Amino acid sequence: MDDGELRRFNTAEGVSEVARDHRNRHVISAGQHAMIRLPSAGLKMVKLKEKGVISLGKYGSFQSANILGYPWGSSFEVLDNHEVKQISSLSEEIELTRDDLTQIFAENNQNIINVGAEIQGLSLPEITELKKSGPSSKIGQQIIEKMIASHDGFDKKTVYSQQKYLKRKQQKYLRRFTVEFVGVNELLEYHQDKDMVKMLDMSMESLGLMMSYANVQPGGRYLVLDDTTGVVTYALMERMAGEGEILLVHENEYPNLSALQYADYSEAYKRSVIRTIDWLQVVEPEESRIQWVDYSETEIAELKGSKRTQYFRRKQRAHDVNYAIDMMKNGGFDALICATTLYLPTLLPYVLDQVGGSNPIVIYNQHKELLMQVQNMFTSDKRVLAPSLFESRVVPFQTVPGKMHPLMTMRGYGGYVLWGTKVIPNSDDIVAVGRGILKRKRDSSESKESTPANA
C-alpha cells in the first residue's frame, strides 16, 4: 500500500489512529461499490457481496460471487442459472457478425422507402416466442440473425447503416455488462445520468479543469465549497491520496456528502482528511466556539454505559468544531475551490483572506453571468490577480469514411470556471526610486546650462 494511503489523526480520546484506503483498485472485490455499464448505455450502481444475486432487469441476473477476482473493466455475458461468462468487451463478435450479415449492401440509402414496422418481417409475437424457445444466453443472437434475415430493406442499406442497425439490436437483445471501478469520472457520469441538477450541470472536463487550476496534490490544505453532493470533494481526495486536509464550508447543520457512499472510504479515512464548518461558524467564530472542560480520570471512570459514550461524543464534537474554527482563523490555505449555488459576491469576502498568497482561487458555476459578477468584484478588490473565465467542452464526433459530424444528442454545455491568483496588496504608497530619477535630474540640469541667457 502506498504511503499516501496512510494518515494518523487524533481522536477525542487522545488515541492516534491510522486511517487507510482499503479499496482494491486492481480486481473486483467484495465490500466495494461497482458501476455496471449496460449495453443500452444505462448505468447501475451495486454493492458487491460474497453472496447475493444482482439483478439487471431485462438483461437477467447473476451471482455477485461469479465476477469477484476479475480485473476492473472486465465484461461479462449473463448465462442461465445466474452464471456469467467473461467476454472481451460489450461488442465482442460484432466484426464476425458484420462479415456474415453484410455481404450485400448499397452505395447509398436512396433506395430505402420508409414504410415503418412493415419492413421488418419478424413480428413482436414471434420475437416473444423466440425468447421462450431456448436458453436465454443464446437466444439474443438468434433473434438478431432472424431479424436481419427477414428485413426487406437490410440489403439496401449502406455498410455503415447496417452496422448501426446491428449495434442497436445487440444493445437491445444481448445480455452483457461491464463492471467498472467507481472513480471520480464514473461517479460524475452516474449522477449526470440520474440527476444533472444536483451536479450543477458539471461536465468531466470542467471538473478536471478545476482540479488542474487549483493545483490539487498530496499534502495540500484546501478550502472547499461543495454543493455537488460530494463529487468535487471526492475528486480532491483522490488527488490528495490521504495526505493533507480539506476544510468544507456548508450552509446546513451537516454537509451533504451523499455521493461519497459509493467511494467506500471508511469513516476514519474521511475524518482524517475532511473537516467541516458551517457559515455561522465562519462569520461568528468566537461565538460559535464550544467551551469544553475535560472530566478528571476519576469522573470518567465513574461514567457508565450511555453516559460515558455521550461524554466522548460531545468531547469529539467540541474538538472537531474548535479545530475547524482554528483552521479557518489561521488561514494559509493552498487554494479556494467553489462549486456552489450560493450568491458568492456576498460570501467570498469572509473566506478570501484565508487563502495564502500566490495560491489559486477556482470557482465553478453553471451560469456565466454570476461568475462575471465575481470577476468584476475581483477586479476592483485587487486581492485576486488576473481573474479569467474559462469554458471547456469536449465535442464527440461520429465518423464514416469521408464524413465527420458531431453527435446530434450531445449535452449543450458543462458550466464555466473562474480562475485567479490570490495576492496580498501593499497598503502603503509605493514610490519607485533608482537610477532613472537621477538620470532625469541630470538631463534637466544639463538642458538649463545649455540654454543661452536672454539679452
CATH number at residue 266: 3.40.50.150
Instruction: Report pLDDT digits (tens) over 393-435.
Output: 888 887 776 778 887 777 767 899 999 999 988 766 666 666 6
Q: How many CB atoms lie within 10 A of CB 230?
A: 24
Number of structural domains, the chain?
A: 2
> 159 and 204: one domain?
no
Tell me what pLDDT residue 41 has. 84
Q: Is residue 408 part of a domain?
A: no
Q: What percentage of the chain has pLDDT greater than the value 90? A: 47
Is residue 202 predicted with pLDDT exceeding 90?
yes
Residues 269-278: what's their mean pLDDT? 93
Predicted pLDDT at 452: 58
Average pLDDT, the chain: 82
Label residue 7 by pLDDT band (50, 70, 90).
Answer: very low
For residues 371 and 310, state if they share a domain: yes
Quick one: 288 and 234 in the same domain? yes
Which carries the bigger pLDDT value, residue 232 or residue 41? 232
Evaluate if residue 363 carries a pLDDT over 90: yes
What pLDDT is attached to residue 10?
A: 46
Higher pLDDT, 387 or 20: 387
Regarding pTM above 0.75, the answer is: yes
Residue 294, domain member (yes or no): yes
The mean pLDDT value for 333-351 works out to: 95
The backbone torsions φ and ψ at residue 249, rounded to the nearest 5 degrees and listed phi first, read -95, 130
pLDDT reading at 295 higher than 90: no
Domain end point (choices 380, 397, 414): 397
What cell was used for 420? 485567479
What integer pLDDT is reported at residue 443 of this predicted model? 66
Considering the domain boundaries, does residue 97 fall inside one?
no
Q: Are residues 188 and 169 in the same domain?
A: no
**Does 326 or 124 have the greater pLDDT score?**
326
pLDDT of 263 higher than 80:
yes
Q: Tell me the residue range of the domain where 226 lies.
A: 184-397
- Asked whether residue 162 falls in the same domain as residue 190, the answer is no
Residue 95 has pLDDT above 50, yes or no: no
Q: Are residues 262 and 155 in the same domain?
A: no
Say if 406 falls within a structural domain: no
Q: Which of 156, 175, 194 is the last residue of a domain?
A: 175
Same-domain check for residues 244 and 132: no
Same structural domain, 319 and 204: yes
Residue 454 domain-assigned (yes or no): no
**Is 2 contained in some domain?**
no
Write out pLDDT tens, residues 159-194.
777 777 787 887 787 888 999 999 999 999 999 888
pLDDT at 435: 63
Confidence at 147, pLDDT banded by 50, 70, 90: confident
Same domain, 252 and 299: yes
Q: Is residue 292 scored above 60 in pLDDT? A: yes
Q: What's the 3-state SS for the chain? A: CCHHHEEEEECCCCCEEEEECCCCCCECCCCCEEEEECCCCCEEEEECCCCCEEECHHHCEEEHHHHCCCECCCEEEECCCCCEEEECCCCCCHHHHHHHHCCCCCCCCCCCCCCHHHHECCCHHHHHHHHHCCCHHHHHHHHHHHHHHCECCHHHCCHHHHHHHHHHHHHHHCCEEEEEECCHHHHHHHHHHHCCCCCCCCCHHHHHHHHHHCCCCCCEEEEEEECCCCHHHHHHHHHHCCCEEEEEEECCCCCCCHHHHHCCCCHHHHHHHEEEEEHHHHHCHHHHCCCCCCCCHHHHHHCCHHHHHHHHHHHHHHHHHHHHHHHHHHCCECEEEEECCCCHHHHHHHHHHHECCCCEEEEEECCHHHHHHHHHHHHHHCCEEEEEEECCCCCCEEEECCEEEECCCCCCCCCEEEEEEECCCCCCCCCCCCHHHHHHHHHHHHHHHHCCCCC
Name the percent of the chain lying above pLDDT 70.
Answer: 78
Are 156 and 277 part of one and the same domain?
Answer: no
Residue 196 lies in a domain: yes
Residue that terminates a domain, selected from 142, 175, 208: 175
Residues 223 and 144 placed together within one structural domain of the fold: no
pLDDT above 90 for 39: no
Q: Are residues 211 and 289 in the same domain?
A: yes
Q: Does residue 150 lie in a domain region?
A: yes
